[in-house]
């Protein structure tokens, strides 16, 4: 894990309780998981934006043939 930062976060109590019930973890792990999901979501959005724009050097058929 990289360097840690100590932050103060003000969140609605009901939202935190709901998130903790979902994760089954404490406050810090719940916040970390939420931040990780947010970061991953942004990466998936960028990948989705590339859909159909990436040209591969090999065709799907050639890749399948390579498995055998």
Q: Binning pLDDT at 50, 70 and 90, where does residue 60 land?
A: confident
CB atoms within 10 A of CB 30: 20
**Given a cut of 80, is residue 17 above it in pLDDT?**
yes
Q: How many domains would you assign to the chain?
A: 1
Q: Binning pLDDT at 50, 70 and 90, where does residue 16 land?
A: very high
Q: Binning pLDDT at 50, 70 and 90, where does residue 68 land?
A: low
Confirm whether 6 is domain-assigned: no
Confirm whether 1 is domain-assigned: no
Confirm whether 37 is domain-assigned: yes
Domain that holds residue 46: 13-66
User: Is residue 49 within 8 Å of 43, Cβ to Cβ?
Assistant: no
Confirm whether 23 is domain-assigned: yes
pLDDT tens per residue, range 21-56: 999 999 999 999 999 999 899 888 888 888 877 777
């Amino acid at each position: 894990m990289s360097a840690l930062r100590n932050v103060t976060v003000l969140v609605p109590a009901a939202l935190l309780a709901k998130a903790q019930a979902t994760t089954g973890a404490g406050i810090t792990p719940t916040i970390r998981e939420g931040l990780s999901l947010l970061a991953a979501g942004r990466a998936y959005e960028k990948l989705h934006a590339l859909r159909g724009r990436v040209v591969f050097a090999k065709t799907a058929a050639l890749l399948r043939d390579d498995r055998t």
